[in-house]
Structure formats: structure tokens, C-alpha cells
């Protein structure tokens, strides 16, 4: 699947039941673009996705799924506050360092659709 905004191959992943309420369209699969970081629903995703396209520091497994969904929620922190809290907690429970991952994404992503540095400051106030 290719991103409709930048025509880059996206990373598809299966969304576990515990996170489906926070997935685009409450889908059981989603995808994230490694260039613009847009997250959209997908028809299907592999159970064990490789998030290598997002950088070597991006977590894998359920922590990676949680972080990908979290990035997708950052376009509106005010509207998605509760979902951000839930997904961040899920990511941390599965071994992800939320702030470090977002900081590294901000430093390495080519053309993000949102200002990750600004969002990182805002999310600190939401999650602290």
C-alpha cells in the first residue's frame, strides 16, 4: 500500500483488540507512512510487522503498533487526549519509551505532516 499524499510504501500492521478503539475507523489493521507519518486504516496488516522503515529506534511488536497509532492521534491533541493517554500507557506497558521514540522520529523523519517538535512539547503536558 502506498501513501496517498507522498506515494511512499507504507508500513501495514495488525491492530490488537485492545487498541482498535484508537485505530483509524476502529479498524483491525492500519498503516503508517514512514515519510509523512500519516496513519490510515488498512484492509489487512501482518501480525508481526517490521517498523524498520521508521528507523532503527522505532519499537517493534505491540509497542510499535501502539507508537504508530499514537503518532496518528497527534494531529489533534485536544480531541484525542484520552486516546493518547491510553495508547501511550499501552506502549509503555509493552516496553516503548514514548518520549524518546517521538524525539527520534522528529529528528529523522523526512517530511512529517505535523510539527513533531511542537507536538512533543504538548504531549509532555498531557502525559505528565
Cell output for 74: 497527534
- Give me the mean pLDDT over the 17-30 stretch: 96
pLDDT recorded at residue 44: 74
The pLDDT value given to residue 65: 97
The pTM (predicted TM-score) of the whole model is: 0.94
- pLDDT given for residue 47 in this prediction: 67
Torsion sign across C-alpha atoms 57, 90, 1, 78: negative
For residue range 57-108, what is the model confidence (pLDDT) as tens digits? Answer: 999 999 999 999 999 999 999 999 999 999 999 999 999 999 999 999 999 8
Residue 109 binned pLDDT confidence (cut-offs 50, 70, 90): confident
**C-beta neighbour count of 23 within 10 angstroms:** 26
- Rounded CA separation 90/72 (Å): 15
Note the pLDDT of residue 98. Answer: 96
Amino acid at each position: 500500500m502506498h501513501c496517498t499524499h507522498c506515494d511512499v510504501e507504507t508500513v501495514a500492521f495488525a491492530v490488537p483488540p485492545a487498541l482498535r478503539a484508537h485505530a483509524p475507523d476502529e479498524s483491525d489493521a492500519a498503516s503508517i507512512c514512514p515519510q509523512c507519518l500519516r496513519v490510515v486504516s488498512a484492509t489487512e496488516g501482518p501480525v508481526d510487522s517490521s517498523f524498520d522503515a521508521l528507523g532503527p529506534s522505532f519499537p517493534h511488536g505491540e509497542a510499535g503498533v501502539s507508537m504508530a497509532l499514537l503518532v496518528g492521534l497527534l494531529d489533534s491533541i485536544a480531541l484525542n487526549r484520552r486516546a493518547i493517554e491510553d495508547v501511550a500507557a499501552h506502549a509503555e506497558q509493552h516496553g516503548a519509551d514514548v518520549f524518546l521514540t517521538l524525539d527520534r522520529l522528529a529528528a529523522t523523519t523526512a517530511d512529517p505532516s505535523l510539527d513533531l517538535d511542537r507536538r512533543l512539547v504538548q504531549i509532555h503536558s498531557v502525559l505528565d
